[in-house]
Each structure stands twice: as C-alpha cells, then as structure tokens.
Amino acid sequence: MGGQMTKFIKKLVGPLVSLFFLLNMTSAGFAETTVSAEVGFIFNTFLFLVCGFLVMFMACGFAMLESGMVTSKSVSVICAKNIGLFSIAGIMFWLVGYNLAYGIPEGGYIGSFTPWSDASAVDTGYADGSDWYFQMVFCATTVSIVSGTLAERIKLWPFFLFAAILSGIIYPIVMGWQWGGGWLAAAGFSDFAGSTLVHSTGGSAALAGAILLGARTGRFDKTGKPTVMKPFAASSIPLVTIGVFILWLGWFGFNGGSQLAMGTFDDAVAVSNIFINTNLAACGGVLAAAIVTRLMMGKTDVVQMLNGAIGGLVAITAEPLMPSPLAAILIGGVGGVIVVFGTKLLFSLKIDDVVGAVPAHLFAGIWGTLAVPITNPDTSFGPQLLGVISINAFVFVVAFIVWAIMKNTMGIRLSKEAEKTGTDVTETGVIAYAIKD
Amino acid sequence: MGGQMTKFIKKLVGPLVSLFFLLNMTSAGFAETTVSAEVGFIFNTFLFLVCGFLVMFMACGFAMLESGMVTSKSVSVICAKNIGLFSIAGIMFWLVGYNLAYGIPEGGYIGSFTPWSDASAVDTGYADGSDWYFQMVFCATTVSIVSGTLAERIKLWPFFLFAAILSGIIYPIVMGWQWGGGWLAAAGFSDFAGSTLVHSTGGSAALAGAILLGARTGRFDKTGKPTVMKPFAASSIPLVTIGVFILWLGWFGFNGGSQLAMGTFDDAVAVSNIFINTNLAACGGVLAAAIVTRLMMGKTDVVQMLNGAIGGLVAITAEPLMPSPLAAILIGGVGGVIVVFGTKLLFSLKIDDVVGAVPAHLFAGIWGTLAVPITNPDTSFGPQLLGVISINAFVFVVAFIVWAIMKNTMGIRLSKEAEKTGTDVTETGVIAYAIKD
Amino acid sequence: MGGQMTKFIKKLVGPLVSLFFLLNMTSAGFAETTVSAEVGFIFNTFLFLVCGFLVMFMACGFAMLESGMVTSKSVSVICAKNIGLFSIAGIMFWLVGYNLAYGIPEGGYIGSFTPWSDASAVDTGYADGSDWYFQMVFCATTVSIVSGTLAERIKLWPFFLFAAILSGIIYPIVMGWQWGGGWLAAAGFSDFAGSTLVHSTGGSAALAGAILLGARTGRFDKTGKPTVMKPFAASSIPLVTIGVFILWLGWFGFNGGSQLAMGTFDDAVAVSNIFINTNLAACGGVLAAAIVTRLMMGKTDVVQMLNGAIGGLVAITAEPLMPSPLAAILIGGVGGVIVVFGTKLLFSLKIDDVVGAVPAHLFAGIWGTLAVPITNPDTSFGPQLLGVISINAFVFVVAFIVWAIMKNTMGIRLSKEAEKTGTDVTETGVIAYAIKD
C-alpha cells in the first residue's frame, strides 16, 4: 500500500484507525504498532514538511535549468516567470485549487470552488496544513514545466494568466480525478506520485502553448533543421547542471513524500526504498542518454544527460515503490532514451521546446505510467492507458482553448522586434548578465 | 502559543512539565499527550537541526543574491565577505553571543560574557546544541544582511571586524531583550521569528554603514539620479534568483523552527500553518512588486519581484502563526510594495544600498512588527512600537559609533583608484569571471 | 559511543537490544528510554534519509565548485563528469559496493560480490534502504573528489570507467576494513565519518591520476612556476562559492548522520554537538586561510578561504563528536592552513590539481585522522597512523595501476589539439557559456 491514491482512503478510515488504537492501548503488549496516534501524526506531518520543502526547492531547479537553457537575452524574464508562477500557484492553490481537487465526491469529476482552511485532527493522521503545503508544491511544479518550453517569445503577463488557470483550475481537476478519489481512481488508475498527473499535465499544457505560439524566429532553417549552436546556444551549462541536481534532490521529496506516511515501520521502509528507486532511475536516465548520444552523435551530449536525469525521474514517479533496483534502473534508462529521441521528434515536427520539457515530462511520463503494471501486480494496462489518454487529452484541449482565446484577445507572442532585442530588455528592463571579463 | 519569546518560559517550566509527565505515566489512559518526554525531546531537537540547516543555507542565498547584484568587478570580494562573515559569526556566537543573549536576568538588559557550553537534559525539551545551532544561524543572518548594502567600496577586514562586533555583541544584546526574557519581553513586545530582532537589526546596522561610507563613486549623477544601468548594472540576474529561492527555502526553517517545538499535535499543526503563511506572504510580496513596477514603470522589474519576495518574507516573520492565509498574502504584499517605494526613497536620499537590503529588511521589518496586533489579539500596538524604536535606535546608534571609530582609525573605504580597478583585484587578487565566449 | 564503526556492533547487538526492550515493556516505569523500538527505528531511518539527501546534494556542490575552478572551455565536460559519476556510483554501489563493504567477515579484508537487497527488520534499528542510501552518497562523494583534480585534460569515458572501479571496488573494500568491522576496526582504528575512508581515499585516487596524466599544457612555465592568472584563471568564483556553501550544508548530513542513530536522548544530543563542531571547524578553516594568505601574500585569497572551509570540514570528519568547540575550531583551522601550504607543495612538485582537492581532501584528511586521539581518549596514535598509511597506500597503488593500464590501452589524456580547443567542444559538443554582454 502507499501512494497518493490512498490519501482518500486514509481520510475515510482515519477515525476507525484512531478508535482501534485507543482500544488497543489498554493491551499494549499485543499492539500491531508501538507508535501512538499522536507520534504517528507528528512523523507524518514532519515527512510532509521536509519532503515539501524539497519539492518547493524544485521551483529553483526549474528556474536555473531554464535560465541556463535559454539564450542570454531571455534570462531575466525566465527568472521573473519562475518566481512569478510559483507565487501565483501558491495563492491559486489556496484560493481554489486544494478544495477543487480534494472536495470531489467519490468517483466524481470536480470538487468545490472554496478556499482551503485548516481542519487538523489527530484522526486524519497529519496536520492539514502540512498536506496543503506538500500538495501546493506539486501544483507549482506542474506550472514550472510550462515556462521553459515557451521561453523567449511569449509575453510575460499572458503567461502569468495561464499559470493562474493551470494551477487553480486545470491541474486541480485532474488531480481530483485520481488523488481526490474521483472517477479515475475508481477506474483502477494508478499514479503514485504524478508521472501523469503532474509531469504529463505540465508537458501537455506546454505542448499546446508551443504549437499555438510557433517557434522562435529563425529557430529552424529553410530545410527544417534546427539551429543548435549560436544564436540559439544555451547561455549557461553550469546553471542547467545545478538546476538538474536541485530537481534530483527535490525528487526524493516528491516521490518519498507521496508515501504520505512515516509513522510506522512499514512506511519508513517504504519511503527508504522509494528514495533508492528514485535515485537509480535517474542514474539510468543519465547513463542511457550518455551512451545513446555518444554512439549516435559521436559526442557525449551533456544537455541530454541532464535531461536524461529528468526523464528517468519522471518515468519512475508513477511507481517508485514496487520496482526492484534493477527494474528502476531500466525504467529510468528507457526514460532517458525517450528524452533523446523525443527531442529529435519535436525537431522534426518543428515544435520549438526551448528546454526539452515535453520529451522529459510528457513523453517520459506516459512511459512511466504505462510501465506501472510491469512491477505492480495490483494494476493493469487498461486503466493506465485510460488515465494517460484522458488526462493528457483533457489538459491539452483545455490548455489549447485557453491559449487560443488569449492569442486572439490580448495576444501571447512578442513582436519580432522585441524578440530580436531580447525579452529581458523589453519585458523586465533588466539585462541578465553584465559581465566584464 | 509559540514563538521565540516563549523559549524563556519553556526553560522555566520545563522541569515542571517533565514532573507532570512522570506522574502522568502511571495513568497513561488519561494523558493529555501520548508523546513521552524523550520522544518529544527528539522531535524538538530534530526540528531545530532541520530548520537550522535550512537557515544556514540562507548564508548561501545571501552570497548569491549579493554576487548577482554587484557589478562584475566586485564579485569575488562579496563571496569572500559572505563566507568570512558566516565563519566569524559562528565563532563569536559560541564565544560570547549565546550567553550574552540567554544569560540575561529576567526583565534585564544584558547577559554574561561567557562561552556557550552544553547543558542538555530531557527536562529542557531539546538538545542544547541544537538550540545553539539554530540561534547561531539567526545571528549569521543578521550579519549577512549588512554585507550587500556596503558592497563595492568597503575594505574587507574592517568589514570583518564589524561582523565580529555585530554577531558577538550588538545582535546578542537585542536578542536577549526579547528572546532571552529581557526588558522588552517584559514590556509585552512580540516578534515571533525576528522581523525586528534579526532583519531590522541587520538593516539598521547596514544603513549606519552606508551613510558613513557614502555612495559608490559616480553612482548618482549631478541631478541626483542614480545610474541604474551600466556601469552599475547587476552582474547576474540568475544568481540573484537562485539566491532568493534559497532564502525563500531557508525561511521555512527560519519561521517554522521558531515555533521551537514539534513534539505535540499542537506544535506540528502550528509549524505547518507557519510554513503556509510564510509561503503566502512571499507570494504576496512578489506579485505586489510585479504589479506596482509594471503599472508605474511600464516594465515588470524582475529585481523588485525578487526583493519583493524578501520584503514579504520579512514582513510575516514577526507573526507567521496567527494570520489567516489571506492576511498573510496581504501582509506580504504590503512588504513587497514597501520594497519598491523604499528603494526609491533611498535613491532620493542618495544613500547607496547596493542590494536593496535596507528596504527589504529594515523597512519591511518595521511594517511586519507593527502589523502583529492586527492578527494576534495578545499583542498591542504600543509595545510593538516600543520594540521597533528601541531596537532600531540602539542598533543604529551603536553601529554608527563603531563604523565612525573604524573610519577614523583604520579607515573603512577603499581608495578611488581601488574602487575603479574593482575590489576583486585589489582585495582578493582573484577576478570573478574569466569567461571566454 | 557513536560513529560509523559502531554500525557493525549495532548489527550484532540489535536483536539483543530489541529483546531487552520487549522485556522492559512490562515494567515501563523503570525503562532506560521511553522510546519504543519502532519509534526509534523511524527516527533512525528519518535521520539517514534527511542526512542522506544533504550528502547527495554535495554532488551538486562538487559540480559547482569544479565548474567554477576550471577555465571556461572545460565547464560543460566537468558538468557531464559530475552528473555521470554520481549515476555510475549509484548503480555500482547497489550492484556490488554495499555488500563488498558490509558483507566482510569480522576482522576480515573483503566482503561478497553480490547486489544489495532489502532486509529491514525492527531489530536492526533502521530501514536497510535508508542505510544503503546514506552509504551510497558517501561512495559518490569519494568519486566526486577525483573529477576536479584531473579536469581539462582527461578523456571523459576513461574517467567514467575509473569512477565505476573506484565506487564499485576500491572504496567499498577500504570501507569494509573499518565500517564493515574488518581488520582496521579490529586494530582499533577510528574514523567517525570518513576523513580517511572517504576524503583521503578520493584524494589518493586523484593524486595517482594527476601524476600519470601530467599537468595541463602550459600550466607551469620554464622556471616551474604555475601560471595562476589567465589563461588558467577560474571561470566563475560565485560558482565556486555556491559549491562550497552546498558542501558545507551537506557536511551536517555527512557527519551528523554518521552518528547512525537519532532515537534516544543521547543520540539527539550527540547529533546536535556534531553539527556544532562541524560548523566551527569550517569556520576555523576559512579564517585560518584568510589570515595566512593575507599575511603571506598581501591579499585575502578568496579561493583559499573557500578551500579552507573544505579543509576544516575534512579535518573534523574523523572525530566530530568528542572535541570541545574550541578544539573543533583549532582542528579546522589547521586544516585550512594545510590547504594553503599543500597547494604550494603541489605547485612545487608540478602536480596540476585543478581544484585543490588533494590538499583539501587528502592532506587535511590525514591531519584530521591523526588528530583524533587528541580529543578521543578511546583512540591512540598507532592505530590511527596504521589506518592512514594502509588505506592511502592501498588506494594510491591500486588507483595508479588502474590508471596506468587505462593509459596504456585506451589512453586517458586528450590530444594537445583537443586540449587547446577545449574539452567542452571536443567531448560534449556543447559550449558552456554563450553570454552576450
């Protein structure tokens, strides 16, 4: 047992467990666990807070990864987008998101449009606030995925508006379908920590925007090949690297915290094994990308290695508990390979994904979700496919409509002149680097 | 209940609680809490250590924020200052600071000039060492605030001397007034995690230094307007961004750890809600700064958004537990607005604060401290104003005297020639960036 | 008690402790501890996971430190090396490393060549997986130390092969000698968290490689003096700084987690005091390097201050629990001085250690290990010297043989032309910085 799906179940059975415990205290010698309800409550809350701040730091990881991947005239604005979207997501997820997800009726489709408020009780097993915090940073992660793909040609404030809609409405709805105990949970879909719910959702929303926005001017030459070196060279590989290391660090919280409990022997063992599988999948993704690019291109592409780590991490996220270490390496390795070929696929379609978020989050997320039944006997391929299709179709279509409406009203793309000058100057008025060598 | 003020109370009542618990163990079924004294001790200690290392990492956040904000010829020396001041503060707070703060008599003015030594007991509720560590990183934060303001024209070793005095003497004295149970605590002042004690103290000390040092040569033109673009452009916006994200991360430890306990249901809930309010205040600060600069200046100033996050975080620090989520957003939002206008105010006064620490830490700290009674019914405006005035006046005057003595003896300002060459070459002999494009 | 050596003992006595506890539960009033075995299990596991992710983040710290220290044409490849070695170490330590270390017979020389598998039980005191994770990141740290020294002239894939051998074979063997309860543990050697086992091991392996590789072309002029400024200037001091701050942060996990337990009053106090000593030793290292370089060279060398922090941290790692705060400062301070003079020593030997890892990790590690008996009365100088010599000799000789075989088969050094062009272009095909000012 474990995974975010069981949160719903825990809310239901919490009071029963608590009652059982109270009865049990009179005969402690026969207790299943020696952890009192209150001590368990504190452990679980502590897990949410620690894992939550790790996931919060992923917002910084995305900001650095994206800052390093864009050209040096669009760095200030990508920083503004990242700090801005994290702020917007935080407020929206309090204002409407949390209850839109968790206020859903059993097997239903949508929750309630009300702000979150604290209703902690020992019975529920953890402080409500710690759960809100943990879920909020997941919501923000979803939005972070979008910002990089659309970099260098999207207007700042329309992006912020989309961030509000994605974090407040779109993500919470699909989140409720599964983790709120909605219709997908009822249909047997399984997504432990969000390969589909978080990563594919972000990737699908980004893809819709990228298609409507079009590529950066001059990105593809007349033959349709991308200009990979200047003037589209990544501005700073070490920033991409620190970004990926921060994301890797944060993923221990992302997957480990999704066990949702740390107050029993079983949960402590589970969280530990999740840490291991999460790490090994990332290792597999890095090395697979290194080997593939070395053999195919003659050079070991560091950017693909770094994105390969993300691909591996995304792939294991749907089921980080059940795989053996070897299976985790392989699942992550396939994620890394998907990133390399997915990048090529987007190039061939002339879709300009500045940071490679669509291959790493959408494509690897689909793989990871469909791979769950390989290691988890309680799941099956049908519901997994259903979840992948329904969530991605819903998110892509709604995001496409939202982007399209914005495009035809306020406009979403910068002028060619502004694009040439650089978004840093036109949007934020602050150049990113003023370095005198 | 909660907040650092109650630490003093806990030290007093600790033995009683423990006695109560021992008596209570004979009738466990009626216990208020099922957490044993030892388990509580471990939880509290764990909280201090985890929150402590988050706050420790804020030293890195300040180093990056400041590295990015200074011009590219003063980056090495700002790195030297930041790693140096953290080292100095660590030693001084052990040598004299801790006991100068906590050795204060009840309602008194100053503690004892003795080094810290371990006196852990289950009764006190947490390992003495974990508390020292947690308080030490607060002390270091205070000093970190000063280094950015004075960048690019102050001599390195006089700065280090000031860092020793601030961390060993000035900060511990005001800390004792409140968190050591001194006269301000007796007067009813409330400052949960240090809007005034830490942030305004750092800001006031920085302001005194900035006035005595004068502005960087050429900073203000003949009409008194600042030269905001080159040659005073920030060297790296992504470094400022990673710095702010690290500070935001660290602030969960800063405010969350100031609950000082994690060993009961109530404390776990409180720490969780503190995390939420801390986050929402930062969100408010970012978005307020974005909106104000967009409307006033036509461009969305990313530097003000980033400093707006700090302003929001500083503002909520005086009372991160009691506000509702909406109140936290508003308190932080006002903090963000204060940062924007505070920066303009300093410009108009021709005070050269290189990183904007005075608006973000001093001005927003005053706001946050005075706003406590809005959400905390146990406080009132009079004692809050008394605390703000007495601490800032004390710190400003003492810091001014110390800076003035140093100015008239060893000198604090670099020669104009050195300033022109760049502090990196003259002070550390190491250029910061040797980047061949 | 405490330190990684006792892990072996705990594994043996675990079942007895558990039995004692069970017996003890019938008379709780007289219990030594009020922490149940399961609660203790969770605390210990939590400690491993939290400290483990801190140490994991050190991989990022090394990547940044090294990225900043190399010249700007070898940054992408150092990023590739660091993300790659961490991935390789993770897989190798699962595949063979862990059991090669811990599968060792009592007082023996080598364990078994089998993959790790989970065998958690409440009796063992923590989740097996959390211990694997914690030990894995130590293994990766050892390899991280090597990459910087050999930068800018080593081929990428031979380095990866060496990383696999070091993480899968060499390190686990010496680790088993001590922490697995092998012959060095039996001989009375003491190395709490790995001054010798981790840091000197990494440093010795790096030194062997540096000797066989030779210096970068043009590094030493005809008179044998190093060219310290361009063209060998460090590419980015702020990246070095963030790297060192991250390492400092990670070291709390490195040393604190090596207490291996957090489930009793005594352990919580011990971990806290380890945090303090770890911090103070780093402070001492920074300030000693600052003072020495200022007095000897006229300028306060920021790079030596940063490496001084590492030297201080490495020095305290062999015994972070027993020293008084003052002793910790002094032990760290000597570490910082060793870094400064060790760097000069390597220059005089024309050994090109690009990042100064040999002085900081090997030399300071020797000092720290030999200094243990000064503060820990249960140790003596003889066994400490035995451990230092046997481990460093073993690692240096085996690493030298491995490097030599690779040199004479696949080759380990880039062509002079490639070295001139820069490793980024020839190895990864990605330039690190494309910054338009």
pLDDT along chain A (437 residues), means of 10: 58 47 37 84 98 98 97 94 98 98 96 94 94 98 97 96 98 98 98 98 98 93 67 91 98 98 97 98 98 94 97 98 98 98 95 97 98 97 98 98 97 91 86 74
- How long a stretch of residues is chain A? 437
Question: How do residues C113-133 score in pLDDT, each as one tens digit?
Answer: 999 999 999 988 999 999 999
Looking at the structure, give the CATH architecture of the domain made up of residues A6-26+35-423. Answer: Orthogonal Bundle (1.10)
ipTM at complex level: 0.94
Smallest Cα distance from B181 to chain C, Å: 24
Q: How many CB atoms lie within 10 A of CB C2?
A: 20
What would the DSSP string read from start to end of C316-337? HHT-SSSS-HHHHHHHHHHHHH
Q: Which two tokens stand for residue C20?
A: 């004692």
Q: Where are the alpha helices (DSSP H) in A353-415?
A: 357, 364-370, 372-375, 381-408
Share of chain B above pLDDT 90, in %: 82
Report pLDDT digits (tens) over B157-204.
999 999 999 999 999 999 999 999 999 999 999 999 999 999 999 999
- pLDDT digits over B38-53, tens only? 999 999 999 999 999 9
3-state secondary structure of C220: strand
Q: What is the pLDDT of residue C26?
A: 35
Do B395 and B205 contact (CB within 8 A), yes or no?
A: yes
Residues 80-99 of B with CB under 8 A from C: 80, 82-84, 86-88, 90-91, 94
Whole-number Cα distances in Å, B356 to B71, B162, B223: 14, 20, 21
Does position C8 have pLDDT exceeding 70, yes or no? Answer: no
CATH 3.90.1640.30 fits C10-23+34-428, yes or no: no
pLDDT at C381 over 50: yes
Paired tokens of A105:
């009726």
Distance CA(A362)–CA(A373), nearest Å, equals: 19
Judge contact between B288 and B333, C-beta under 8 A.
yes
- Gap between the Cα atoms of B288 and B307, Å rounded: 11
| Cβ-proximal residues to C86 (8 Å cutoff; 6+ apart), any chain | A283, A286, C59, C140, C143, C144
- Residues in Cβ contact with A178 at an 8 Å cutoff, skipping those fewer than 6 apart: A4, A5, A184, A185, A189, A191, A197, A387
Q: Is C429 on the interface with B (CB under 8 A)?
A: no
User: What pLDDT was estimated at residue C369?
Assistant: 98
Q: Classify residue B334 by burial, with Cβ atoms within 10 Å: 0-12, 13-18, 19+.
A: buried
Contact C94 A325 (CB under 8 A): yes
- End-to-end, the C-alpha distance of chain C in Å comes to 57
Interchain CB contact of A24 with C (< 8 Å) = no
> What is the C-alpha to C-alpha distance for residues A38 and A22, in angstroms, rounded to an integer?
11
Q: What's the residue count for chain B?
A: 437
pLDDT (0 to 100) of residue B9 = 58
Helix (H) or strand (E) holding C411: none
Task: Tell me the sheet residues that pair with C154.
Answer: C413
Calculate Rg over the CA atoms of chain C.
Answer: 22
Handedness of CA B119, B123, B127, B129 (dihedral sign): negative
Distance CA C202, CA C140 (A): 10
Q: Do A428 and B306 touch (CB under 8 A)?
A: no
Among B217, B131, B167, smallest CA distance to B59 is for B167
pLDDT at C82: 98
CATH architecture of B6-23+37-421: Orthogonal Bundle (1.10)
List the end-to-end C-alpha distance of chain A, in Å, as a whole number: 57
State how far the alpha carbon of C125 is from the alpha carbons of A268, B248, B258, in Å. Answer: 11, 35, 30
Nearest beta carbon to residue B246 from set A60, A428, A434: A60
CA of A191 vs chain C CAs: smallest distance (Å) = 22
Interface of C with A in 367-406 (CB under 8 A): none
Which chain A residues are Cβ-neighbours of C46 within 8 angstroms?
43, 46-47, 262, 268
Q: Are A381 and A193 in contact (CB under 8 A)?
A: no
Q: Please, is B395 exposed, middle or buried when counting C-beta atoms within 10 Å of its C-beta (0-12, 13-18, 19+)?
A: buried
Place of tokens 């011990």: C270
DSSP helix/strand/coil, C402: helix
| DSSP letter for each residue of B107-158 | T-S------------GGGSS-HHHHHHHHHHHHHHHHHHHHHHTTTTB-HHH
Dig out the tokens for B323 from the structure.
Answer: 């506000």
Sequence letter at residue A414? L
- For residue B393, the distance in angstroms to the closest alpha carbon of chain C comes to 31
- Tell me the backbone φ, ψ of residue B134, rounded to 5 degrees: -65, -45
Distances, alpha carbon C175 to alpha carbons A299, C70, C156, C194, C397, in Å: 35, 30, 26, 9, 16
Question: What are the phi and psi torsion angles at C236 (to 5°)?
Answer: -160, 105
Enumerate residues 6+ apart whose C-beta is below 8 A from B245.
A57, A59, A60, A63, A83, B61
Q: What is the DSSP string of A23-66?
A: HHGGGGGG-S----HHHHHHHHHHHHHHHHHHHHHHHHHHHHHH
CA distances from C415 to A219, B335, C154, C213 (A): 34, 57, 9, 12
How far apart, in whole angstroms, are the C-alpha atoms of residue A39 and residue B35?
Answer: 6
Which of the four pLDDT bands, split at 50, 70 and 90, describes residue C9?
low
Q: How far apart are CA B263 and CA B18, in angstroms?
A: 13
Q: What is the mean pLDDT of residues B213-230?
A: 78
Whether the pTM exceeds 0.80: the reply is yes
pLDDT of residue B369: 98
Contact C37, C387 (CB under 8 A): no
Per-residue DSSP letters for A209-278? Answer: HHHHH-PPTTSB-TTS-B--STTS--SBHHHHHHHHHHHHHHHHHHHHGGG---SSHHHHHHHHHHHHHH
Q: Tell me which DSSP letter residue C154 carries.
A: B
CB contact under 8 A, B236 and C238: yes
Task: Please say whether the beta carbons of A240 and A65 come within 8 A.
Answer: yes
Backbone angles phi, psi at C264, to 5 degrees: -140, 165
Q: How many CB atoms lie within 10 A of CB B397?
A: 12
Query: Is the CB of B115 less than 8 angstroms away from the CB of C73?
Result: no
Phi and psi dihedrals of A125, rounded to 5? Answer: 95, -10
- Tally A–C CB contacts below 8 A: 201
> Across the interface, which of B46, B79, B91 has its CB nearest the CB of C262?
B46
What is the distance between the terminal CA atoms of chain B, rounded to a whole angstrom? 57
Residue A380, H or E segment: none
The region, left, alpha or beta by phi > 0 then psi within -120 to 50, assigned to residue C110 is beta
Chain C residues within an 8 Å CB radius of B67: 238, 241
Provide the mean pLDDT of chain B. Answer: 92
Q: Are B256 and A49 in contact (CB under 8 A)?
A: yes
Tokens of A256: 């480990």
Residue C19, pLDDT score: 42
Nearest Cα neighbor of B276 from A117, A58, A51 is A117
Average pLDDT, chain C: 92
CA angle A402, A407, A412 (to 5 degrees): 105
Residue C29: its pLDDT value, please?
36
- Best residue in B269, B274, B316, B324 for a mutation probing chain A (most A CBs within 10 Å): B269
Tell if the CB–CB gap between A53 and B271 is shorter than 8 Å: no
Identify the chains in contact with C, defined as 3+ C-beta pairs within 8 A.
A, B
Please give the backbone phi and psi of residue C182, each rounded to the nearest 5 degrees, phi first: -80, -160
Task: Note the pLDDT of residue B84.
Answer: 98
Distance from CA of B366 to the nearest CA of A (A): 23
Q: What is the CA radius of gyration of chain A?
A: 22
Residue B392's SS3 state is helix
